[in-house]
Amino acid sequence: MLDQKQHVNLPQGSIEKTTTTLNLGPTHPATHGVFQNILEIDGERIVSAESTVGYIHRAFEKIAERRPYYQITPLTDRLNYCSSPINNMGWHLTVEKLLGIEVPKRVDYLRVIIMELARIADHLICNAVMGVDTGALTGFVYLMTYRELIYEIYEEICGSRLTTNIGRVGGFERNFTPAAWQKIHRFLDEYPKALKEFETLLTRNRIFIERTQGVGGIDAKRAMSYGFTGPNLRAAGVDYDVRVASPYSSYQDFDFTVPIGSTGDCYDRYLVRNAEMWESISIIRQAVEKLKDLPDDVYHAKVPEFYLPPKQDVYTKMEALIYHFKIVMGETDIVPGEVYNSVEGANGELGFYLISDGGRSPYRLHFRRPCFIYYQAYAELVQGAMISDAIICMSSLNLIAGELDA
Amino acid sequence: MSLTNERIQQRLTEKFGDVVTGFEEPYGMLTFTAQRDSNLKVMQFLFDDEELRFQFLTDITAVHYPERKNEELAVIYHLHNFVDNVRIRMKVFAPVAAPKVFTATSLFLSANWMERETYDFFGVDFVGHPNLKRILNVEEMTYFPMRKEFPLEDSMRTDKDDEMFGRGGNI
């Protein structure tokens, strides 16, 4: 027998209410991550949405205040885990800017190769998943092969695949192996064909166009006000790209275009990402070409105060042992100062605001996470749309839960 | 002609006088401090002025300096002018006892969540914010965890029993 009270204990106004409240997420398989949206729906049309974030908040900014600089790199891996090398290198570039370290050209170009591979890996997942959400699984399964190949390249260079911890302050921990070069060349040979085929599957596909065009659109002015950056801002028609606006890691040496859209809807975002993948392929090719003229044994800057010496030297050479000890025990002098440095992450401007007071760890480190900032526009983008449009809109924004919650 | 840091500083001091102080250029980015009650006026001027055009809000965050009396919390704004590609940094200092700072949500829609995050971790009370509640932490939380009075756990402590978690113990 049920308790009578349960039947009368309804919230105020819930009987007169004409809309339904629906929890989309946090563990809904279609949201690709821990996202919760409390939707107020009228039939299948969304009246209003409220986003709840913070499900996987791990307090990285606080943890970073206790860690030495080189131990913060693994924290940045876990922000945007679809393109961790960009985060790692963004962090290294920030520390190098603070310390005034100049890295050799070859390191810059090697970094560019890795960062562009990471951008491709991130964009291909985002676009392939948009296909999945519109009902086309083929493209996803097909392109996944090439993300696998990119992960194998990471593995060849740094030993890990998803959370890469790639590189060090000052360069890389080891040189690219012949196997890594072979895989990079294989990727450059095979991926363009696959991408071309992927485009023929979706770009002019009637169903895909009907599902994405005019969905989740935003105009340039509003996108700027909402703090959009990266492909989402460019899809709205603003040609802002950190690689061009404030070049880092010798991006000024490369010739590439910044693709832009016009309506800022899901279809434009898809097109911009696809076009960027083609640009990234071209940048990698240029980098490989430029590397031919440079000595092939340079892979880090000569900064023994900050760059850990090879382990075999630590056991046999006195200087290496001293530097190893100084770095690990935090005896190296770090200049006090404050610096903001940003890189073009796969989904927007990834910024690092670092304040050093001279100690072995930062006094304050703040990550400008692009998708945390533009996710607040989601409620507006899906207002008046169908539930199924809300799903596509979310995947087209390229939201990464790890980055959103830091 | 592109906008130089000297020109921005000149325009700001012409308009606001003593309200904006402490100009410096760490790593090339013009940094200055605005008085707490006029942060919004300064940002509005930077936004509207035909020459300055700082119409993109890159970031809002805060820093806690416990040793600075009556200005323990610094709210930091990073603004960006897309046309001339110039960035500036504005700081506003507030006492930790009553950290009231005017909200920037009327100027930038993106300020909404950034200010909620700053409130969540530092307790900066953004006056006029439409929905100032915690965003990443749980709503029942009663303290502001990024302040310096909450140190991280000492990694060398020995009194904790981690045996159940696969760390420590006698192995």
Cα separation, A344 vs A321, in Å, equals: 37
Residue B55 touches partner A, C-beta closer than 8 Å:
yes
User: Tokens 């693709």 map to which residue?
Assistant: A259
Residue B58 touches partner A, C-beta closer than 8 Å:
yes
Hey, are the CB atoms on B136 and A406 less than 8 Å from each other?
A: yes
Average pLDDT, chain B: 89
Residue B61 touches partner A, C-beta closer than 8 Å:
yes
**What are residue B95's phi and psi, to 5 degrees?**
-70, 145
Dihedral class, residue A398 (left if φ above 0, else alpha if ψ from -120 to 50, else beta)? left
Are A96 and A337 in contact by the 8 Å Cβ rule? The answer is: no
Q: What is the pTM (predicted TM-score) of this model?
A: 0.92
Hey, are the CB atoms on B136 and A62 less than 8 Å from each other?
A: no
* pLDDT at residue A29 in the model: 75
* pLDDT at residue A9 in the model: 65
B112 neighbourhood in chain A, CB within 8 Å: 376
Burial per residue of A38-55, b for 16 or more beta-carbon CB atoms within 10 angstroms, e otherwise: ebebeeeebeebebebbb
* pLDDT at residue A194 in the model: 94
Question: For each of chain A's 406 residues, which pLDDT tens digit applies?
Answer: 455 555 566 677 777 778 888 888 788 777 777 888 899 999 899 999 999 898 899 999 999 998 888 889 999 999 999 999 999 999 999 999 999 999 999 999 999 999 999 999 999 999 999 999 898 898 899 899 999 999 999 999 999 999 999 989 999 989 999 999 999 999 999 999 999 999 999 999 999 999 999 998 999 999 999 999 999 999 999 999 999 999 999 999 999 999 999 999 999 999 999 999 999 999 999 999 999 999 989 999 999 888 999 889 999 999 999 999 988 887 888 899 999 999 999 999 999 999 999 888 899 999 999 999 999 999 999 999 999 899 999 999 999 988 998 8
A240 neighbourhood in chain B, CB within 8 Å: 82
Mutate to test the interface with A, among B3, B54, B59 (most CBs of A within 10 A): B59
User: Residue A53 is nearest to which of B26, B82, B136, comparing CB atoms?
Assistant: B136
A63 neighbourhood in chain B, CB within 8 Å: 152
| Greatest alpha-carbon span in chain B | 70
* pLDDT at residue A209 in the model: 93
Q: Which chain A residues have any C-beta within 8 angstroms of a chain B C-beta? A: 53-54, 57, 59, 61-63, 65-66, 97-98, 222, 224-227, 238, 240, 245-246, 337-340, 342, 349, 351, 353, 355, 363-364, 366, 368, 372-377, 405-406
Hey, are the CB atoms on A225 and B59 less than 8 Å from each other?
A: no
Hey, are the CB atoms on B136 and A57 less than 8 Å from each other?
A: yes
| Residue A53 CA: distances (Å) to CA of A64, A349, A387, B137, B146 | 21, 20, 19, 9, 18
User: Hey, CA dihedral for A243, A246, A251, A256, is it positive or negative?
Assistant: positive
CA atoms in the 13 A half-sphere facing the CB of A331: 8
Q: Shortest Cα distance from B135 to chain A (angstroms)?
A: 7
Cα separation, A220 vs B56, in Å, equals: 12
| Residue A339 CA: distances (Å) to CA of A67, A69, A168, A356 | 18, 14, 19, 9
pLDDT surpassing 70 at residue B170:
no
Give CA A404 to chain center in angstroms: 11
Cα separation, B102 vs B36, in Å, equals: 8
Hey, are the CB atoms on B152 and A337 less than 8 Å from each other?
A: no
Residue B137 touches partner A, C-beta closer than 8 Å:
yes
Number of Cβ within a 10 Å radius of residue B19: 16
Nearest to A268 by CA among A378, A127, A365: A127
* Residue A131 in tokens: 């296909």
* pLDDT at residue B171 in the model: 43
Nearest to A107 by CA among A250, A2, A269: A250
Q: What is the DSSP letter of B119?
A: H
Q: Fill in the amino acid letter for A324.
A: H
Helix axes A84-99, A105-133, angle to 10 degrees: 150
Cα separation, A36 vs A22, in Å, equals: 10
Q: Shortest Cα distance from A138 to chain B (angstroms)?
A: 36
A338 neighbourhood in chain B, CB within 8 Å: 26-27, 31
- What's the pLDDT tens digit per position in B95-153? 999 999 999 999 999 999 999 999 999 999 999 999 999 999 998 999 999 999 888 87
Number of Cβ within a 10 Å radius of residue A14: 8
Coil, helix or strand at residue B136: coil
Hey, are the CB atoms on B78 and A63 less than 8 Å from each other?
A: no
B58 neighbourhood in chain A, CB within 8 Å: 227, 342, 349, 351, 368
pLDDT surpassing 50 at residue B2:
yes
Q: Shortest Cα distance from A48 to chain B (angstroms)?
A: 16
